[in-house]
């Protein structure tokens, strides 16, 4: 199975900061990567698919980039409601796999 | 509004059977794959598999093969996840989610609210 490694595992940032989360795949997955946000006690929500395409209704401050094995989720100007855990997920091959998550705390 | 509503929390003993459900509304249920994802306490997300309500075609993660059964009743827009003999290690939140068409692969939205399954003697 393709392994996804996210970094950092957790981070704390202030409102207005630019935040970057990375996701590295154990083998090339083209652009078959999605990003999800999960708030405590809630179900995940899709933010970005195909590495860089913003899902409808998701604020434009969320940006995805990368292809092959290295991917990045950037929040350009952090807002208070952006706290939660972020997961990457590959859909290049079965079984579908997720990164271990990055917990984002607002200072 | 497209939504998936899952059945309520369950508390079971080891060895018991269980079937949880996921009802879709607001879209043509038969036309979209439904995925199941496990989240163990305080842990990440694990993809269990997917089922197509149109013909019950199923793809299971080898890690879950033989552990669970996926099924669907398209006449009532409902997908199911079943265990025949639960173990304590099955304690987790289980999510169903609709596989999107427009992402070119297995990405999921929306997700159900999750069903907490607790297995304890």
pLDDT of residue B43: 93
Looking at beta carbons, which residues of chain B come within 8 Å of A87?
Answer: 44-45
pLDDT of residue B10: 98
Residue B45 to residue A87, Cβ atoms within 8 A: yes
Q: How does residue B102 score in pLDDT terms, banded at 50, 70 and 90?
A: confident
pLDDT of residue B6: 98
Residue A27 φ/ψ, nearest 5 degrees: -150, 165
Tens digit of each residue's pLDDT (9 = 90 or more) over B46-65: 999 999 999 999 999 999 99
pLDDT of residue B60: 97
Question: Is pLDDT larger for residue B23 or for residue B105?
Answer: B23
Question: Is pLDDT larger for residue B102 or for residue B22?
Answer: B22
Segment B97-108 shows an average pLDDT of: 92
Nearest to B18 by CA among B89, B70, B81: B81
Residue B108 to residue A43, Cβ atoms within 8 A: no
Segment A37-57 shows an average pLDDT of: 96
pLDDT of residue B103: 86
What are the C-alpha distances in Å from B19 to residues A24, A60, B14, B67, B71? 36, 40, 14, 13, 10
Segment A33-42 shows an average pLDDT of: 97
Question: Is pLDDT larger for residue B102 or for residue A93?
Answer: A93
Tens digit of each residue's pLDDT (9 = 90 or more) over B67-86: 999 999 999 999 999 999 99
Taking phi over 0 as left and psi of -120 to 50 as alpha, with beta for the rest, B88 belongs to alpha
Q: Are A89 and A1 in contact (CB under 8 A)?
A: no
Which residue among B35, B103, B113 places its CB closest to the CB of A43?
B113
């Amino acid at each position: 199975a393709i392994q996804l490694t996210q970094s950092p595992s957790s981070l704390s940032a202030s409102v207005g900061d630019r935040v970057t989360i990375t996701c590295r795949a154990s083998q090339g997955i083209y652009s078959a990567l999605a990003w999800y946000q999960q708030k405590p006690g809630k179900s995940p929500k899709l933010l970005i698919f195909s590495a860089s395409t913003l899902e409808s209704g998701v604020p434009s401050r969320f940006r995805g980039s990368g292809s092959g094995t290295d991917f990045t989720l950037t929040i350009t100007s952090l807002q208070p409601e952006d706290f939660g855990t972020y997961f990457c997920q590959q859909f290049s091959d079965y079984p579908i796999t997720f990164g271990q998550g990055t917990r984002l705390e607002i200072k | 509004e497209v939504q998936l509503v899952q059945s309520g929390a369950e508390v079971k003993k080891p060895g018991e059977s269980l079937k949880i459900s996921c009802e879709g509304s607001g879209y043509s249920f038969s036309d979209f794959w439904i995925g199941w994802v496990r989240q163990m306490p305080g842990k990440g997300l694990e993809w269990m598999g997917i089922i197509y309500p149109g013909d019950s075609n199923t793809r299971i993660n080898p890690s879950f093969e033989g552990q669970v059964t996926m099924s669907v009743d398209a006449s009532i827009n409902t997908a199911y996840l079943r265990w025949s003999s639960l173990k304590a290690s099955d304690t987790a939140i289980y999510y169903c989610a609709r596989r999107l068409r427009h992402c070119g692969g297995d990405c999921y939205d929306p997700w159900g609210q999750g069903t907490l399954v607790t297995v304890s003697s």
